[in-house]
Protein backbone atom coordinates (compact mmCIF):
# COMPACT_ATOMS: atom_id res chain seq x y z
CA UNK A 1 0.00 0.00 0.00
CA UNK A 2 2.87 2.35 0.79
CA UNK A 3 4.41 1.74 -2.64
CA UNK A 4 1.06 2.44 -4.30
CA UNK A 5 0.69 5.69 -2.35
CA UNK A 6 4.16 6.73 -3.48
CA UNK A 7 3.26 6.24 -7.13
CA UNK A 8 0.05 8.30 -6.89
CA UNK A 9 1.56 10.85 -4.47
CA UNK A 10 -1.00 10.04 -1.74
CA UNK A 11 -0.59 10.88 1.94
CA UNK A 12 -1.08 8.35 4.73
CA UNK A 13 -2.40 9.20 8.18
CA UNK A 14 -3.06 7.61 11.56
CA UNK A 15 -4.41 8.92 14.87
CA UNK A 16 -1.25 10.98 15.55
CA UNK A 17 0.37 12.11 12.30
CA UNK A 18 0.14 12.40 8.53
CA UNK A 19 2.96 10.86 6.50
CA UNK A 20 4.29 11.43 2.99
CA UNK A 21 5.58 8.08 1.59
CA UNK A 22 7.87 9.98 -0.80
CA UNK A 23 9.90 11.41 2.12
CA UNK A 24 12.69 9.20 3.45
CA UNK A 25 12.03 10.03 7.13
CA UNK A 26 8.33 9.26 6.80
CA UNK A 27 9.15 6.01 4.99
CA UNK A 28 11.38 4.98 7.90
CA UNK A 29 8.72 5.75 10.52
CA UNK A 30 6.03 3.88 8.56
CA UNK A 31 8.34 0.88 8.20
CA UNK A 32 9.12 0.79 11.93
CA UNK A 33 5.44 1.11 12.88
CA UNK A 34 4.50 -1.64 10.43
CA UNK A 35 7.16 -3.95 11.85
CA UNK A 36 6.04 -3.28 15.43
CA UNK A 37 2.42 -3.94 14.46
CA UNK A 38 3.32 -7.29 12.89
CA UNK A 39 5.36 -8.28 15.95
CA UNK A 40 2.53 -7.29 18.29
CA UNK A 41 0.03 -9.38 16.35
CA UNK A 42 2.45 -12.30 16.36
CA UNK A 43 2.90 -12.04 20.14
CA UNK A 44 -0.86 -11.91 20.71
CA UNK A 45 -1.37 -14.95 18.49
CA UNK A 46 1.41 -16.83 20.29
CA UNK A 47 -0.06 -16.03 23.71
CA UNK A 48 -3.51 -17.17 22.60
CA UNK A 49 -2.05 -20.41 21.27
CA UNK A 50 -0.09 -20.97 24.50
CA UNK A 51 -3.25 -20.38 26.55
CA UNK A 52 -5.12 -22.85 24.36
CA UNK A 53 -2.43 -25.50 24.79
CA UNK A 54 -2.30 -24.89 28.55
CA UNK A 55 -6.04 -25.52 28.78
CA UNK A 56 -5.60 -28.65 26.67
CA UNK A 57 -2.89 -29.94 29.03
CA UNK A 58 -5.43 -29.68 31.85
CA UNK A 59 -7.85 -31.75 29.77
CA UNK A 60 -10.40 -28.90 29.66
CA UNK A 61 -10.26 -27.77 26.02
CA UNK A 62 -13.25 -28.86 23.96
CA UNK A 63 -14.25 -27.63 20.55
CA UNK A 64 -17.71 -26.61 19.42
CA UNK A 65 -18.49 -30.27 18.75
CA UNK A 66 -18.02 -33.09 21.29
CA UNK A 67 -17.72 -36.67 20.08
CA UNK A 68 -21.12 -38.48 19.96
CA UNK A 69 -21.63 -40.45 23.16
CA UNK A 70 -20.40 -37.71 25.48
CA UNK A 71 -21.71 -34.44 26.94
CA UNK A 72 -20.62 -31.74 29.35
CA UNK A 73 -22.67 -31.61 32.55
CA UNK A 74 -23.65 -28.43 34.36
CA UNK A 75 -20.32 -28.44 36.23
CA UNK A 76 -18.29 -28.65 33.00
CA UNK A 77 -17.26 -32.28 33.48
CA UNK A 78 -17.16 -34.68 30.54
CA UNK A 79 -19.65 -37.51 31.11
CA UNK A 80 -21.35 -40.14 29.02
CA UNK A 81 -24.47 -39.02 27.19
CA UNK A 82 -27.42 -39.60 29.59
CA UNK A 83 -29.41 -40.93 26.63
CA UNK A 84 -29.23 -44.69 27.11
CA UNK A 85 -29.91 -45.24 23.42
CA UNK A 86 -26.76 -43.30 22.50
CA UNK A 87 -24.67 -45.28 24.98
CA UNK A 88 -26.00 -48.62 23.80
CA UNK A 89 -25.34 -47.83 20.12
CA UNK A 90 -21.73 -46.76 20.79
CA UNK A 91 -21.18 -49.93 22.82
CA UNK A 92 -22.80 -51.94 20.03
CA UNK A 93 -20.30 -50.55 17.49
CA UNK A 94 -17.33 -51.87 19.50
CA UNK A 95 -19.13 -55.14 20.25
CA UNK A 96 -19.88 -55.87 16.58
CA UNK A 97 -16.40 -54.78 15.50
CA UNK A 98 -14.86 -57.18 18.01
CA UNK A 99 -17.17 -59.94 16.79
CA UNK A 100 -16.88 -59.37 13.03
CA UNK A 101 -13.24 -58.26 12.98
CA UNK A 102 -13.42 -55.44 10.39
CA UNK A 103 -14.98 -52.03 9.97
CA UNK A 104 -16.43 -52.95 6.55
CA UNK A 105 -18.29 -55.98 7.94
CA UNK A 106 -19.51 -53.86 10.85
CA UNK A 107 -20.74 -51.24 8.37
CA UNK A 108 -22.63 -53.89 6.40
CA UNK A 109 -24.19 -55.33 9.60
CA UNK A 110 -25.57 -51.94 10.70
CA UNK A 111 -27.14 -51.33 7.27
CA UNK A 112 -28.51 -54.86 6.93
CA UNK A 113 -30.18 -54.61 10.35
CA UNK A 114 -31.30 -50.99 9.79
CA UNK A 115 -29.60 -49.70 12.94
CA UNK A 116 -29.06 -45.95 13.09
CA UNK A 117 -26.19 -44.27 14.94
CA UNK A 118 -25.83 -40.82 16.59
CA UNK A 119 -24.04 -38.28 14.40
CA UNK A 120 -23.19 -34.61 15.02
CA UNK A 121 -24.63 -32.34 12.34
CA UNK A 122 -24.38 -28.56 11.96
CA UNK A 123 -27.82 -26.94 11.94
CA UNK A 124 -28.11 -23.13 11.83
CA UNK A 125 -24.54 -22.71 13.07
CA UNK A 126 -24.92 -25.15 15.97
CA UNK A 127 -24.18 -28.86 16.27
CA UNK A 128 -26.98 -31.19 17.26
CA UNK A 129 -27.29 -34.96 17.49
CA UNK A 130 -29.20 -36.70 14.69
CA UNK A 131 -29.76 -40.36 13.86
CA UNK A 132 -28.78 -41.88 10.51
CA UNK A 133 -27.25 -44.99 9.02
CA UNK A 134 -23.46 -44.98 9.59
CA UNK A 135 -20.93 -44.43 6.85
CA UNK A 136 -17.77 -46.51 6.67
CA UNK A 137 -15.66 -43.44 7.55
CA UNK A 138 -17.82 -42.79 10.62
CA UNK A 139 -17.31 -46.33 11.95
CA UNK A 140 -13.57 -46.17 11.33
CA UNK A 141 -13.36 -42.85 13.19
CA UNK A 142 -15.24 -44.29 16.17
CA UNK A 143 -13.22 -47.51 16.29
CA UNK A 144 -9.85 -45.73 15.97
CA UNK A 145 -10.70 -42.79 18.25
CA UNK A 146 -8.87 -43.06 21.62
CA UNK A 147 -11.48 -40.68 23.08
CA UNK A 148 -13.81 -43.68 23.49
CA UNK A 149 -11.12 -45.42 25.56
CA UNK A 150 -11.24 -42.65 28.17
CA UNK A 151 -8.27 -40.77 26.64
CA UNK A 152 -8.12 -37.01 26.25
CA UNK A 153 -5.85 -35.90 23.44
CA UNK A 154 -4.86 -32.71 21.68
CA UNK A 155 -2.76 -32.33 18.55
CA UNK A 156 -3.43 -35.81 17.21
CA UNK A 157 -3.05 -34.58 13.64
CA UNK A 158 -0.39 -32.01 12.74
CA UNK A 159 -0.74 -29.44 9.97
CA UNK A 160 1.71 -29.48 7.09
CA UNK A 161 2.36 -27.33 4.03
CA UNK A 162 2.47 -28.99 0.60
CA UNK A 163 3.07 -27.47 -2.83
CA UNK A 164 0.45 -27.91 -5.55
CA UNK A 165 0.99 -26.32 -8.95
CA UNK A 166 3.64 -24.09 -7.44
CA UNK A 167 1.29 -22.82 -4.70
CA UNK A 168 1.49 -23.69 -0.96
CA UNK A 169 -1.53 -25.49 0.55
CA UNK A 170 -2.19 -26.38 4.18
CA UNK A 171 -3.47 -29.86 5.00
CA UNK A 172 -3.72 -32.23 7.96
CA UNK A 173 -1.14 -35.01 8.21
CA UNK A 174 -1.84 -38.60 9.26
CA UNK A 175 -2.71 -39.47 12.86
CA UNK A 176 0.31 -39.47 15.19
CA UNK A 177 1.30 -42.26 17.56
CA UNK A 178 0.27 -41.75 21.21
CA UNK A 179 3.84 -41.00 22.32
CA UNK A 180 4.10 -38.19 19.73
CA UNK A 181 0.82 -36.41 20.48
CA UNK A 182 1.15 -33.08 22.31
CA UNK A 183 -1.42 -33.93 25.00
CA UNK A 184 -2.36 -37.53 25.78
CA UNK A 185 -4.17 -38.10 29.13
CA UNK A 186 -5.36 -41.60 29.95
CA UNK A 187 -8.29 -42.29 32.31
CA UNK A 188 -9.49 -38.74 31.74
CA UNK A 189 -13.15 -39.73 31.56
CA UNK A 190 -15.36 -42.80 31.50
CA UNK A 191 -14.69 -44.84 28.38
CA UNK A 192 -16.81 -47.17 26.30
CA UNK A 193 -13.85 -49.51 25.97
CA UNK A 194 -10.67 -49.89 28.04
CA UNK A 195 -7.35 -48.69 26.67
CA UNK A 196 -5.86 -52.16 27.12
CA UNK A 197 -8.65 -53.69 24.99
CA UNK A 198 -8.08 -50.97 22.40
CA UNK A 199 -4.35 -51.79 22.26
CA UNK A 200 -4.93 -55.61 22.23
CA UNK A 201 -7.24 -55.31 19.24
CA UNK A 202 -4.73 -53.22 17.31
CA UNK A 203 -1.94 -55.67 18.05
CA UNK A 204 -4.13 -58.53 16.82
CA UNK A 205 -4.98 -56.65 13.61
CA UNK A 206 -1.30 -56.03 12.91
CA UNK A 207 -0.48 -59.71 13.53
CA UNK A 208 -3.42 -60.93 11.47
CA UNK A 209 -2.40 -58.83 8.45
CA UNK A 210 1.21 -60.04 8.34
CA UNK A 211 2.26 -62.41 5.61
CA UNK A 212 3.01 -65.80 7.29
CA UNK A 213 6.12 -66.05 5.11
CA UNK A 214 7.66 -63.13 6.99
CA UNK A 215 8.37 -65.06 10.21
CA UNK A 216 10.56 -62.45 11.86
CA UNK A 217 7.87 -59.77 11.67
CA UNK A 218 5.18 -62.26 12.67
CA UNK A 219 7.12 -63.36 15.73
CA UNK A 220 7.60 -59.79 16.86
CA UNK A 221 3.94 -58.95 16.43
CA UNK A 222 2.88 -62.18 18.11
CA UNK A 223 5.02 -61.28 21.11
CA UNK A 224 3.45 -57.82 21.24
CA UNK A 225 -0.01 -59.34 20.96
CA UNK A 226 0.70 -61.73 23.86
CA UNK A 227 1.93 -58.83 25.99
CA UNK A 228 -1.27 -56.90 25.35
CA UNK A 229 -3.37 -59.96 26.17
CA UNK A 230 -1.48 -60.35 29.45
CA UNK A 231 -2.09 -56.70 30.27
CA UNK A 232 -5.79 -57.16 29.48
CA UNK A 233 -6.00 -60.22 31.71
CA UNK A 234 -4.25 -58.36 34.51
CA UNK A 235 -6.74 -55.51 34.22
CA UNK A 236 -9.64 -57.94 34.39
CA UNK A 237 -8.22 -59.60 37.50
CA UNK A 238 -7.74 -56.21 39.14
CA UNK A 239 -11.35 -55.34 38.34
CA UNK A 240 -12.57 -58.62 39.82
CA UNK A 241 -10.49 -57.97 42.97
CA UNK A 242 -11.95 -54.48 43.37
CA UNK A 243 -15.46 -55.82 42.94
CA UNK A 244 -14.80 -58.50 45.57
CA UNK A 245 -13.55 -55.84 48.01
CA UNK A 246 -16.70 -53.76 47.60
CA UNK A 247 -18.39 -53.16 50.94
CA UNK A 248 -21.84 -54.58 51.58
CA UNK A 249 -24.48 -52.17 52.83
CA UNK A 250 -25.15 -51.92 56.56
CA UNK A 251 -28.49 -51.61 58.31
CA UNK A 252 -27.94 -47.88 58.58
CA UNK A 253 -27.27 -47.66 54.82
CA UNK A 254 -30.45 -49.63 54.19
CA UNK A 255 -32.48 -47.24 56.38
CA UNK A 256 -31.01 -44.26 54.54
CA UNK A 257 -31.94 -45.78 51.16
CA UNK A 258 -35.51 -46.45 52.33
CA UNK A 259 -35.76 -42.88 53.65
CA UNK A 260 -34.58 -41.61 50.27
CA UNK A 261 -37.33 -43.62 48.59
CA UNK A 262 -39.98 -41.93 50.74
CA UNK A 263 -38.59 -38.46 50.01
CA UNK A 264 -37.40 -39.10 46.47
CA UNK A 265 -39.63 -36.51 44.78
CA UNK A 266 -38.53 -33.52 46.95
CA UNK A 267 -34.87 -34.52 46.61
CA UNK A 268 -35.16 -34.87 42.83
CA UNK A 269 -36.82 -31.47 42.42
CA UNK A 270 -34.53 -29.67 44.85
CA UNK A 271 -32.32 -27.11 43.10
CA UNK A 272 -29.37 -28.18 45.25
CA UNK A 273 -29.47 -31.69 43.74
CA UNK A 274 -26.77 -31.70 41.00
CA UNK A 275 -27.37 -33.27 37.61
CA UNK A 276 -24.48 -35.70 38.16
CA UNK A 277 -26.28 -37.14 41.21
CA UNK A 278 -29.52 -37.47 39.24
CA UNK A 279 -27.69 -39.43 36.54
CA UNK A 280 -26.23 -41.80 39.15
CA UNK A 281 -29.69 -42.32 40.66
CA UNK A 282 -31.16 -43.12 37.24
CA UNK A 283 -28.42 -45.68 36.53
CA UNK A 284 -28.98 -47.30 39.92
CA UNK A 285 -32.78 -47.47 39.69
CA UNK A 286 -33.34 -48.41 36.04
CA UNK A 287 -32.34 -51.81 34.73
CA UNK A 288 -33.21 -51.19 31.07
CA UNK A 289 -35.56 -49.27 28.82
CA UNK A 290 -37.27 -51.07 25.94
CA UNK A 291 -38.72 -48.99 23.12
CA UNK A 292 -41.04 -50.34 20.43
CA UNK A 293 -42.31 -48.38 17.43
CA UNK A 294 -46.01 -48.38 16.51
CA UNK A 295 -45.74 -47.71 12.78
CA UNK A 296 -49.50 -47.42 12.29
CA UNK A 297 -50.04 -44.65 14.86
CA UNK A 298 -46.47 -43.28 14.70
CA UNK A 299 -45.98 -43.65 18.44
CA UNK A 300 -43.20 -44.98 20.68
CA UNK A 301 -44.10 -47.59 23.30
CA UNK A 302 -41.75 -47.30 26.29
CA UNK A 303 -41.25 -49.99 28.93
CA UNK A 304 -39.04 -49.01 31.88
CA UNK A 305 -37.81 -52.04 33.82
CA UNK A 306 -36.76 -51.07 37.33
CA UNK A 307 -34.11 -52.83 39.37
CA UNK A 308 -36.71 -54.22 41.79
CA UNK A 309 -38.52 -56.14 39.04
CA UNK A 310 -41.42 -53.72 38.46
CA UNK A 311 -41.94 -51.96 35.18
CA UNK A 312 -43.73 -48.88 33.85
CA UNK A 313 -45.30 -48.33 30.44
CA UNK A 314 -46.24 -45.18 28.54
CA UNK A 315 -46.68 -43.95 24.97
CA UNK A 316 -45.08 -40.94 23.29
CA UNK A 317 -45.51 -39.45 19.86
CA UNK A 318 -42.70 -40.58 17.59
CA UNK A 319 -40.21 -37.74 16.96
CA UNK A 320 -40.50 -36.49 13.43
CA UNK A 321 -37.71 -35.36 11.18
CA UNK A 322 -37.11 -31.65 10.70
CA UNK A 323 -38.79 -31.80 7.29
CA UNK A 324 -41.91 -33.39 8.79
CA UNK A 325 -41.97 -31.35 12.00
CA UNK A 326 -41.69 -28.05 10.12
CA UNK A 327 -44.00 -29.00 7.28
CA UNK A 328 -46.73 -26.54 6.38
CA UNK A 329 -50.15 -27.58 7.66
CA UNK A 330 -52.39 -29.08 5.00
CA UNK A 331 -55.22 -26.59 5.71
CA UNK A 332 -52.83 -23.63 5.32
CA UNK A 333 -51.48 -25.06 2.09
CA UNK A 334 -55.00 -25.44 0.69
CA UNK A 335 -55.77 -21.78 1.47
CA UNK A 336 -52.55 -20.63 -0.20
CA UNK A 337 -53.19 -22.79 -3.27
CA UNK A 338 -56.75 -21.46 -3.57
CA UNK A 339 -55.79 -17.78 -3.20
CA UNK A 340 -52.46 -17.84 -5.09
CA UNK A 341 -53.88 -17.40 -8.63
CA UNK A 342 -55.81 -14.24 -7.65
CA UNK A 343 -54.09 -12.58 -4.69
CA UNK A 344 -50.57 -11.47 -3.82
CA UNK A 345 -48.47 -12.80 -0.94
CA UNK A 346 -49.38 -9.99 1.48
CA UNK A 347 -53.12 -10.54 1.06
CA UNK A 348 -52.71 -14.28 1.67
CA UNK A 349 -50.55 -13.63 4.75
CA UNK A 350 -53.23 -11.31 6.20
CA UNK A 351 -55.89 -14.01 5.84
CA UNK A 352 -53.71 -16.68 7.50
CA UNK A 353 -52.76 -14.29 10.32
CA UNK A 354 -56.43 -13.40 10.90
CA UNK A 355 -57.24 -17.09 11.19
CA UNK A 356 -54.51 -17.42 13.85
CA UNK A 357 -52.51 -19.82 11.71
CA UNK A 358 -48.72 -20.19 11.97
CA UNK A 359 -45.97 -21.61 9.77
CA UNK A 360 -44.44 -25.05 10.20
CA UNK A 361 -41.86 -23.49 12.55
CA UNK A 362 -44.56 -21.83 14.68
CA UNK A 363 -44.00 -18.30 13.34
CA UNK A 364 -46.57 -15.79 12.19
CA UNK A 365 -47.30 -15.88 8.47
CA UNK A 366 -45.64 -13.05 6.51
CA UNK A 367 -45.24 -12.03 2.90
CA UNK A 368 -41.85 -13.73 2.77
CA UNK A 369 -43.09 -17.06 4.18
CA UNK A 370 -46.03 -17.13 1.74
CA UNK A 371 -43.64 -16.34 -1.13
CA UNK A 372 -41.46 -19.31 -0.07
CA UNK A 373 -44.47 -21.68 -0.17
CA UNK A 374 -45.44 -20.27 -3.57
CA UNK A 375 -41.96 -21.07 -4.93
CA UNK A 376 -41.74 -24.39 -3.07
CA UNK A 377 -44.90 -25.76 -4.68
CA UNK A 378 -44.51 -23.98 -8.02
CA UNK A 379 -47.71 -21.93 -7.71
CA UNK A 380 -46.41 -18.99 -9.73
CA UNK A 381 -47.33 -15.31 -9.33
CA UNK A 382 -50.91 -14.08 -9.17
CA UNK A 383 -52.67 -13.07 -12.40
CA UNK A 384 -53.83 -9.41 -12.41
CA UNK A 385 -56.66 -10.36 -14.81
CA UNK A 386 -57.94 -13.17 -12.58
CA UNK A 387 -60.30 -10.76 -10.76
CA UNK A 388 -61.46 -8.95 -13.89
CA UNK A 389 -65.24 -8.46 -13.80
CA UNK A 390 -65.24 -9.10 -10.04
CA UNK A 391 -65.75 -6.63 -7.19
CA UNK A 392 -65.32 -6.87 -3.44
CA UNK A 393 -67.87 -6.27 -0.69
CA UNK A 394 -66.64 -2.76 0.06
CA UNK A 395 -66.40 -1.86 -3.62
CA UNK A 396 -69.92 -3.15 -4.29
CA UNK A 397 -71.34 -1.11 -1.39
CA UNK A 398 -69.59 2.03 -2.63
CA UNK A 399 -70.73 1.43 -6.20
CA UNK A 400 -74.39 0.95 -5.18
CA UNK A 401 -74.38 3.75 -2.62
CA UNK A 402 -75.46 1.57 0.32
CA UNK A 403 -73.68 0.09 3.34
CA UNK A 404 -71.59 -3.04 3.13
CA UNK A 405 -73.86 -4.54 5.80
CA UNK A 406 -76.79 -4.33 3.38
CA UNK A 407 -74.75 -6.05 0.69
CA UNK A 408 -73.87 -8.75 3.23
CA UNK A 409 -77.57 -9.28 4.03
CA UNK A 410 -78.35 -9.74 0.35
CA UNK A 411 -75.57 -12.33 0.16
CA UNK A 412 -76.78 -14.17 3.27
CA UNK A 413 -80.31 -14.28 1.85
CA UNK A 414 -78.97 -15.93 -1.34
CA UNK A 415 -80.27 -13.00 -3.40
CA UNK A 416 -76.76 -11.88 -4.40
CA UNK A 417 -74.26 -14.57 -5.35
CA UNK A 418 -70.77 -14.28 -3.86
CA UNK A 419 -67.77 -16.50 -3.17
CA UNK A 420 -65.07 -16.50 -0.50
CA UNK A 421 -61.96 -18.73 -0.55
CA UNK A 422 -61.61 -18.81 3.25
CA UNK A 423 -62.85 -16.88 6.30
CA UNK A 424 -61.39 -13.36 6.36
CA UNK A 425 -60.55 -13.64 2.65
CA UNK A 426 -62.02 -10.99 0.31
CA UNK A 427 -65.65 -11.65 -0.70
CA UNK A 428 -65.79 -11.88 -4.49
CA UNK A 429 -68.92 -10.61 -6.28
CA UNK A 430 -69.33 -10.81 -10.02
CA UNK A 431 -70.35 -7.55 -11.61
CA UNK A 432 -73.09 -9.22 -13.64
CA UNK A 433 -74.67 -10.61 -10.45
CA UNK A 434 -74.53 -7.20 -8.81
CA UNK A 435 -76.20 -5.64 -11.88
CA UNK A 436 -78.96 -8.26 -12.00
CA UNK A 437 -82.57 -7.04 -11.97
CA UNK A 438 -83.61 -8.60 -8.65
CA UNK A 439 -80.60 -7.21 -6.80
CA UNK A 440 -81.10 -3.73 -8.21
CA UNK A 441 -84.82 -3.80 -7.25
CA UNK A 442 -83.88 -4.55 -3.63
CA UNK A 443 -81.31 -1.75 -3.68
CA UNK A 444 -83.82 0.75 -5.11
CA UNK A 445 -86.42 -0.25 -2.52
CA UNK A 446 -83.81 0.28 0.22
CA UNK A 447 -82.97 3.74 -1.10
CA UNK A 448 -86.64 4.69 -1.42
CA UNK A 449 -87.96 3.35 1.87
CA UNK A 450 -84.79 3.21 3.96
CA UNK A 451 -85.51 -0.43 4.74
CA UNK A 452 -84.22 -3.64 3.25
CA UNK A 453 -87.15 -6.03 3.60
CA UNK A 454 -85.90 -9.29 2.18
CA UNK A 455 -88.76 -11.54 3.27
CA UNK A 456 -92.25 -10.56 2.09
CA UNK A 457 -91.09 -7.69 -0.12
CA UNK A 458 -93.46 -6.89 -3.05
CA UNK A 459 -91.54 -5.92 -6.14
CA UNK A 460 -92.83 -3.18 -8.45
CA UNK A 461 -93.37 -5.58 -11.37
CA UNK A 462 -94.93 -8.36 -9.26
CA UNK A 463 -98.72 -8.77 -9.30
CA UNK A 464 -100.46 -9.37 -6.00
CA UNK A 465 -102.63 -12.45 -5.50
CA UNK A 466 -105.01 -10.43 -3.29
CA UNK A 467 -106.73 -7.06 -3.94
Q: What is the per-residue pLDDT across 3-56, written as a single tens digit (0 to 9) for each?
A: 888 888 888 888 778 888 888 888 888 888 888 888 888 888 888 888 878 887
List pLDDT tens digits, range 191-229.
888 776 676 665 555 555 555 545 455 666 667 777 878
* Residue 27 φ/ψ, nearest 5 degrees: -60, -40
Measure the CA–CA gap between 54 and 62, rounded to whole angstroms.
13
Measure the CA–CA gap between 231 and 118, rounded to whole angstroms.
32
What is the pTM assigned to this prediction?
Answer: 0.38
Q: What percent of the chain has pLDDT over 70?
A: 88
Q: How many Cα atoms occupy the beta-carbon half-sphere of 37 within 13 Å?
A: 6
* Better-predicted residue by pLDDT, 368 or 462: 368
Helix (H) / strand (E) containing 350: helix 345-354
Contact indicator for 281, 269 with CB cutoff of 8 Å: no
Phi-psi region of 165 (alpha: psi -120 to 50; beta: other; left: phi over 0): left
- The predicted model gives 352-381 an average pLDDT of 89
pLDDT score of 313? 92
Tell me the average pLDDT of the chain.
82
Contact indicator for 420, 392 with CB cutoff of 8 Å: no
Asked if residue 340 has pLDDT above 80, the reply is yes
Confidence band for 465, pLDDT divided at 50, 70 and 90: low
Residue 273's CB is within 10 A of a number of other CB atoms, namely 13
Which residues does 114 contact at the CB level (< 8 Å), separation at least 6?
133
pLDDT score of 422? 86
Measure the CA–CA gap between 85 and 210, rounded to whole angstroms.
38
Exposure string over 428-447, b if 16+ CB within 10 A, otherwise e: bbeeebbeeeebebbbebbe
Measure the CA–CA gap between 329 and 337, rounded to whole angstroms.
12
pLDDT score of 149? 84
Asked if residue 349 has pLDDT above 90, the reply is yes
List pLDDT tens digits, range 219-251.
666 677 778 788 888 888 888 887 777 777 788
Amino acid sequence: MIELCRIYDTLLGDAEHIYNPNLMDDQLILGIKGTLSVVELGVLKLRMQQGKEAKAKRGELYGSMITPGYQLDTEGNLVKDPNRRVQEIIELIFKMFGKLGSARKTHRWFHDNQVEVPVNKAVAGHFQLIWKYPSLCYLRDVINNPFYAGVYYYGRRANEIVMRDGMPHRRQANYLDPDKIKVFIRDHHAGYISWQTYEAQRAFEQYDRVDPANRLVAETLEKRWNEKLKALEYTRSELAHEQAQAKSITDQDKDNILALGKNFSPVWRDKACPMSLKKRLVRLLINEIVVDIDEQHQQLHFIIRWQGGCHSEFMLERPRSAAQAHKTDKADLEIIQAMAPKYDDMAIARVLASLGRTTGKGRKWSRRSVAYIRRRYGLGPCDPQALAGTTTLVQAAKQCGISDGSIKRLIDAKILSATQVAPYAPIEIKQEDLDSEIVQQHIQTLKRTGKLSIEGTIMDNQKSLFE
